[in-house]
Structure 1
Amino acid sequence: MSSNSSNLAVGYAASCVAILLFGSNFIPLKKYDTGDGMFLQWVLCAAVWLVGLLVNLLLHCPKFWPFAMLGGCIWATGNIAVVPIIKTIGLGLGILIWGSFNALTGWASSRFGWFGMEAEEVSSPLLNYIRAGLAVVSAFLFLFIKSEIPSTACSADTTPLMSKPVVSQTQDPCSWVDRLPTAHRRPVGCSLAVASGILYGSTFVPVIYIKDHSRRNDSMYAGASEYDLDYVFAHVSGIFLTSTIYFLAYCAAMRNSPKLYPEAVLPGFLSGVLWAVATCCWFVANHSLSAVVSFPIITTGPGFVAAMWGVFMFKEMQGLQNHVLLGLAFCTILAGVLCTAFSKV
């Protein structure tokens, strides 16, 4: 097997693992009350950092580039909205929407060389552009899918996936998200999903920028590693630092009385581990396939997995119209993924 074929095989295998884990990593949290998500964000990011530290040790501690932390800061900012998104429009639809905008942002920045990066070339530009157009179509279809979400966390199904949840009697169990009027929940959830998707799509920009400038002798990044996984620890360090700052600011805003949900700690930690492993696979896929190919595949694939969870386990999407729209969107995604794959051949 040639070196190129081997790289493609590794890249697509890593993409498949990333898709499965990204589409499932919030499942352990689905039936736990997580409030406004600020405490959960910090727990999840702590788990992400620990996995990144382990990977860094296995790689024998490659050079740490602080600029790569910026990508983690961007991701953590977008991730703040995850709990409100899931509570307002559901797990499946939320991942579908933010995945589509994630794919478009990541693809465009890599393909056209935004933010100081070098524009990436593919063997079949036309197929790559068709794939981007299909991503726009699928994102448009997702916005018309309606999800069945309880109006408040207080009335939601409380049968958890790991143990019986207990809400502290010393704090109000309902967050600002739970108090949103029914008419406002969908617009708020969709808007947050779009914003998170755009931020997620920018998370690899610093790493790609460093790699692109590592080949320039006049750059401060000259000689930097070409292997994407070498930047994972800096990336997750940015995630943990930013989430800690946000959580401390949240505690200050709450006058040192933050809403903590102890029953969400273990599920949140598990969710963070799954996400971190998926991200490591994504770094591998970026190296083997290039970001312009891996981004559209990994950002849209998890939506299919999450939607299956939403349809068959959590019953978030019901009705013939929703299922027809979902089917059309999936066909669009599949066609786009195939275009992306063949554009690299």
Structure 2
Amino acid sequence: MTHLAYGIAANVVAVLLYGSNYVPVKRIETGDGMFFQWVNCAAIWVVSMVGDLMLQSPKFYPFAMLGGVIWATGNLAVVPIVKAIGLGLGILIWGSSSLLMGWASSRFGWFGIVAEDVSRPILNFCGAGLCLLSGLIFFFVKTDVELHPDSDSMPLLIDRVSTLTQQCDSGDLKSIHHAVLQSDSCPFISGCLLAVVSGLLYGSSFAPILYIKSHSSCHDSMFHGASVYDLDYVYAQCSGIFVASTVYFTIYCAAMNNRPRVYSRAILPGLLSGLMWALATYCWFLANNYLSAFVTFPIISAGLANCFMFFMATCVILIGSLLTAISTL
């Protein structure tokens, strides 16, 4: 019971940090997001280096970096998603798709991972289903995302009401009508689809670590004798994140003829966002040692959206999370 309490406590901290790590940058101009994602990933890597030193530098497995590459690929779409459908709905959609991918891969043994069993499978399925339901509830929530004619020069999130009020005061009624008509157009659909793809990448990004752990007891595996302590792999994961983001940013600079769109005001918020994400990941990996990945994934993924949910969805997700956790007792 003590391990269950520690695991849930670590999950709660991870949910709070994951759900709010983009808040510091929501009013900051980020442009196309490429510079922001590189700063964000650099902060993640620095935090992981400190954590690696505190853990006395456990053995480094380059294969775990693959998960970081997958995560960084999904992270490229964060800024376009938020500008298209908003932060709340964006986290909601990619959290739901991440939930399905992460929970299913651990529960059913996808990608070469050893499938994990629970003593109460019905509760586990019900818990994961309710966590997903909490996300589906908010597909009916209408988002108000203002489309700006120059999307590269606007903050990540802007106040639609104040913007329309200013337009009304200036007598620009055509601009208001145009913004309202465009709110349900193709950018919204593409933003939703992009969020689903991003969530699937997020959900599969931890598969390499789970693969290493599940094959640590196989004598004929190259990972025989590998650590089963999740925190030992955070540095490798974050190294993959930083390497991939640097490669993507280099390609971006080349495509822009060495004239990347750099926004200096996004540096400190980007560093803070990366710090929060890295700390959340350490808390989550710590929770995995007390619980299992297929238990923590529904709590984490649905918990991201929970930061933006109303009372109804909050009740549903809490019930689902408790059922998922109790299923291991």
Same fold flag (TM > 0.5) = yes
- Rounded Cα–Cα distance in structure 2 between residues aligned with 1:226 and 1:132: 25
The alpha-carbon deviation at position 139 of structure 1 amounts to 3.6
> Is 1:70–2:66 an aligned residue pair?
yes
State the AA in 1 paired with 2:50. L
Change (3 A) 1:108 1:155: closer
**Match 1:217 to one of 216, 219, 222:** 219
Match of 1:9 in 2: 5
- Rounded Cα–Cα distance in structure 1 between residues aligned with 2:321 and 2:16: 15
Match of 2:141 in 1: 145
Counterpart secondary structure, 2:259: coil
- Rounded Cα–Cα distance in structure 1 between residues aligned with 2:258 and 2:322: 51
Change (3 A) 1:136 1:24: closer
Match of 2:164 in 1: none
State the AA in 2 paired with 1:266. L
**Structure 2 stretches of 5 or more lacking a match?**
160-178
State the AA in 2 paired with 1:198. L
Match of 1:61 in 2: 57
- Rounded Cα–Cα distance in structure 2 between residues aligned with 1:103 and 1:218: 32
Match of 1:295 in 2: 297
Question: Could you tell me the TM-score, scaled by structure 2's length?
Answer: 0.88
State the AA in 2 paired with 1:134. L
The alpha-carbon deviation at position 332 of structure 1 amounts to 2.9
State the AA in 2 paired with 1:303. A
**Match 2:96 to one of 100, 107, 120:** 100
**Match 1:36 to one of 32, 36, 42:** 32
The alpha-carbon deviation at position 97 of structure 1 amounts to 1.1
Match of 1:332 in 2: 316
**Match 1:255 to one of 240, 254, 257:** 257
> Is 1:239–2:223 an aligned residue pair?
no
Alignment of 1:132-281 (within 5 A): 132-152=128-148, 153=151, 182=183, 183-281=185-283
Q: Check conservation: 2:132, 2:302, Cα contact below 8 A.
A: no
Match of 1:286 in 2: 288
Match of 1:112 in 2: 108
Counterpart secondary structure, 2:317: helix
Question: Could you tell me the TM-score, scaled by structure 1's length?
Answer: 0.84
Deviations 1:172-218 (A, max 9, x none): xxxxxx9xx54122112111111111111111100010011001111
**Structure 1 stretches of 5 or more lacking a match?**
160-177, 309-325
State the AA in 2 paired with 1:227. Y
- Rounded Cα–Cα distance in structure 2 between residues aligned with 1:243 and 1:267: 17
Q: Check conservation: 1:123, 1:343, Cα contact below 8 A.
A: yes
- Rounded Cα–Cα distance in structure 2 between residues aligned with 1:78 and 1:272: 15
Deviations 1:235-268 (A, max 9, x none): 0000000000000111111111111111100000
- Rounded Cα–Cα distance in structure 1 between residues aligned with 2:215 and 2:120: 25
Aligned residues: 304
- Rounded Cα–Cα distance in structure 2 between residues aligned with 1:155 and 1:62: 43
Counterpart secondary structure, 2:205: coil
- Rounded Cα–Cα distance in structure 1 between residues aligned with 2:209 and 2:154: 43
The alpha-carbon deviation at position 136 of structure 1 amounts to 4.0
Match of 2:162 in 1: none
- Rounded Cα–Cα distance in structure 1 between residues aligned with 2:201 and 2:134: 19
The alpha-carbon deviation at position 6 of structure 1 amounts to 2.8
**Identity of aligned pairs, percent?**
57
- Rounded Cα–Cα distance in structure 1 between residues aligned with 2:217 and 2:139: 42
Deviations 1:118-156 (A, max 9, x none): 001112100111123224433433333221112124566
Deviations 1:253-291 (A, max 9, x none): 111111111110000000000000001111111121010
> Is 1:25–2:21 an aligned residue pair?
yes
CA RMSD of superposed structures (Å): 1.9
Match of 2:120 in 1: 124
Change (3 A) 1:111 1:76: same
Counterpart secondary structure, 1:143: helix
The alpha-carbon deviation at position 158 of structure 1 amounts to 6.9
The alpha-carbon deviation at position 327 of structure 1 amounts to 4.6
- Rounded Cα–Cα distance in structure 1 between residues aligned with 2:319 and 2:248: 39
> Is 1:45–2:47 an aligned residue pair?
no
- Rounded Cα–Cα distance in structure 1 between residues aligned with 2:326 and 2:158: 45
- Rounded Cα–Cα distance in structure 1 between residues aligned with 2:286 and 2:154: 42
